[in-house]
Amino acid sequence: MKFVKFPMPYRHRHPKVRNVNEVLEERLTFGQRTADRVAATMGSWPFIIVQTVLLTVWVVLNVTAYVRHWDPYPFILMNLMLSLQAAYAAPIIMMSQNRQAERDRLDAQNDYQVNIKSEEEIRAVLDHLVAQDQALAQIQQFLADRFNSGAAAADPKPGS
């Protein structure tokens, strides 16, 4: 009787999966960290509320001339300040978005590597299951042959 040969035990030949967040944190420069902080700050409700309050106070003080008109109505100085803020905010936010796109690419690459590893391991498990099925079929056949030959030896032939 020929016995089934089981596949070799599965060996992990792939690199270790790394946490994408840790990889990105290691690579960040000072400028990138600053861009992320600025984008997070400017994209928050506290920033919008504080800016709204400051602009309202600016307008009220200049309209009522309570202190003195440093920026009379049409508020050219305020528009200049807001334009400067927008001129700097837009590129900083874009830098932060570019970093997020880089993170998404790393995330996709990491997902791809995990999928390849999973496929390798599933293939190894399936190969092992096929070998087990073959071994069980051989064992079953062996037992059936043994039972049938033992039952025939135990029963005398009729008419003898």
Task: Kindly state the average pLDDT of the residues 54-77.
Answer: 88
Q: Which helix (H) or strand (E) holds 67?
A: none
Distant-in-sequence, close-in-space partners of 117: CB < 8 Å, separation ≥ 6: 12, 14, 17
- The residues spanned by each domain of the chain are 32-114
Task: Kindly state the average pLDDT of the residues 89-94.
Answer: 94
Asked if residue 10 has pLDDT above 90, the reply is: no
Asked if residue 160 has pLDDT above 60, the reply is: no
pLDDT band for position 13 (50/70/90)? confident
CA distance 118 to 153: 52
Query: For the segment 82-91, what is each residue's pLDDT rounded down to a tens digit?
Result: 999 999 999 9
